[in-house]
Structure 1
Amino acid sequence: MLVAAAVCPCPPLLVPEVAAGAAPELDAARAACTDALGVLAAARPDRLVVVGPAAESEHGAYPEGARGSFRGFGVELDVRLGRAGDAAGAPGARRLPPSLAVAAWLLRRTGWSDAPIEGLGVRETLATERCVAAGKEIAARAGRVALLVMGDGSACRTLKAPGYLDERAAPFDAQAARALAAADVAALEALDAGAAQELMVSGRAPWQVLAGAAEGAGLSGALLFEDAPYGVGYLVAAWS
């Protein structure tokens, strides 16, 4: 059963070494993520599942100890999802997608040691019903399950945004923010997958996995951070 969830953005720029001189611009987002992870720890879960957007080749499960890296962003920084594991270190083991690497960095930064961890990369195009089904399966894995859900809002909030300015972007992000603030499962499931893809929303599928996991859990929500630096919507929320 799901007992708590934290929702965080997943830009590699969240990692100060990647952001370099621009790191202070996301200090407030980092602080909110720390607070959200504190809610997870306070829930005393039996298992933590980290869910984030992934490319087609990165879709699927990642064991505890799976490794990731920010070397592709010009920084010699490696991370690991929780404690070391034999399977994760085996030859040919898959590397964490960027979203889960950012999650691994957040967990290391906050000193997570409260429960075993596993990761799940989900395709950004995964249909809503499949996201919801995946969430329900996750919630059934242990008596007390916590979720760390990674994902960004639209990347079309300004003229300089990665996807340029789209007038639908701000209303879409506001809809997602209201749903996350209220722990509104139905509203999250109602997010339009087609519009999300057009607006370059990486968080839609992970948020809908959260919706599936939270069905019937009776959690309450709080929105801890909402902003659109660089023209990309970043949201931080905590459910408990």
Structure 2
Amino acid sequence: MGAGSLTWLMFVVVALNAIAAAAGLALFAVAIWVAADGYKLYPISGVSGKDDIFAGAWIAIFTGFAFFLTCIFGIFAALKRSRALMLVYFLIMFIIFLFECASAITAATNRDYLVGNSNFVKKQMLQYYGQDSIQGKQITQTWNRVMEQDECCGADSPQDWIVYNSTLKQMYPTYNWPLSCCKRLSTFDLQDPEGCKVGRTGILFTKGCFNYIESVLSHYTWAVSWYGFSVLILVFFTLVIAMIYFMQLE
């Protein structure tokens, strides 16, 4: 390959690494957003140990920033036209690539387990809500916040609390469902306490919360997994071009 063609190829490698560096930095940012759990739904997945979406986010924080740094190093190696530096670049990128594959796959498969249907979420809701334990308090606070914010009740509907056995029913037999299932005044007091207990129309939230939970966990998965996969495709294409450039170096 002539000197002019090699120089042109070098600039292509530099440009692709610059784009990949920006993509890696963006992955780093969105992974931090997921790990920070802005919607505060971690207890729903964490209580049963099925928190791989968040584990994937922590891996993606590392891989995103590592992609950024390594791509900068790749730009330096390409400009230096050094085979030794390019080899180091390839080795580091391959290791990071494997870690990011693990992160994306972990988040995607865990999402399918959590939101494939409402039964898993419903089961732990009925088991832990109202329980006087650390996990129980976390689940209770999480569900109260979700039901009040999204104006929903139970996983599929308020009937979840009546049809199935629950910790709430055992501890508070006079309550058919949590008070968070009912509308409140601006002062956060119940609008109609007696109407709430009997499920009066217009007071009790009738829709389930599962769609909201599914939507949030899906957003987390898209951020960690599917964006991660898109970064992997970009990095793979960058590595192919960089390999062609490497083979032309003397």
Which range, TM-score by smaller chain?
under 0.3
Answer 1 or 2: which has greater strand percent: 1
Answer 1 or 2: which has greater helix percent: 2
